[in-house]
């Protein structure tokens, strides 16, 4: 279920996936929380399950050391969901904590969330979100 490298990136940048979010999925660090949020959306669309897990803060309610079931849950969600459009509504940047409010059009409907990110050991991680 990997995203084809020569198609446009699911994040909506208008850039080919291989030149956009793919580099983060392959190990580059997102420079800010906005980039991390967009690359996580793309990771769901592309089925990059390890990236979702790797960029989730340990304080997140889904976080677990037992990744087997967690990976299965993410894979099932990715497989059964079409990721149609991402719209960033607001980005509040900070040195250690940041917020991104977005709307994601999914095959199951619209998901609106204000996501919270924390910087840990120089890396941005998704902590939690408030559904709007």
pLDDT tens, position by position, 17-39? 999 999 999 999 999 999 999 99
Q: Look at residue 5 in the predicted model and tell me its pLDDT.
A: 65
pTM, full prediction: 0.95
Is the pLDDT score of 8 beyond 70?
yes
Q: With cut-offs at 50, 70 and 90, classify the pLDDT of residue 60.
A: very high
Q: Look at residue 2 in the predicted model and tell me its pLDDT.
A: 63
Q: Look at residue 78 in the predicted model and tell me its pLDDT.
A: 95
**Region 118-131 average pLDDT:** 97
Instruction: Say which residue the tokens 């849950």 belong to.
Output: 73
Residues 6+ apart with CB under 8 A from 120: 57
Q: Look at residue 85 in the predicted model and tell me its pLDDT.
A: 96
Q: With cut-offs at 50, 70 and 90, classify the pLDDT of residue 94.
A: very high
Quote the tokens at residue 31: 């420079």
Residues 6+ apart with CB under 8 A from 8: 14, 15, 16, 17
**In angstroms, rounded to a whole number, what is the distance separating the alpha carbons of residues 55 and 74?**
13
pLDDT tens, position by position, 96-118? 999 999 999 999 999 999 999 99
Q: With cut-offs at 50, 70 and 90, classify the pLDDT of residue 66.
A: confident
- Evaluate whether 83 touches 106 at the Cβ level (below 8 Å): yes
């Amino acid at each position: 279920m990997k995203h084809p490298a020569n198609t446009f990136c699911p994040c909506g940048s208008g850039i080919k996936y291989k030149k956009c979010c793919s580099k983060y999925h392959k190990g580059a660090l997102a420079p800010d929380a906005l980039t991390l949020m967009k690359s996580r959306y793309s990771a769901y669309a592309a089925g990059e399950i390890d990236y979702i897990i790797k960029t989730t803060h340990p304080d997140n309610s889904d976080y677990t050391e037992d990744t087997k079931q967690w990976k299965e849950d993410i894979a099932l969600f990715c497989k059964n969901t079409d990721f149609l459009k991402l719209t960033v509504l607001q980005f509040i940047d900070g040195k250690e904590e940041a917020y991104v409010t977005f709307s994601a059009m999914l095959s199951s409907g619209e998901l609106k969330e204000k996501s919270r990110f924390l910087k840990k050991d120089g890396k941005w991680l998704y902590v939690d979100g408030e559904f709007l």
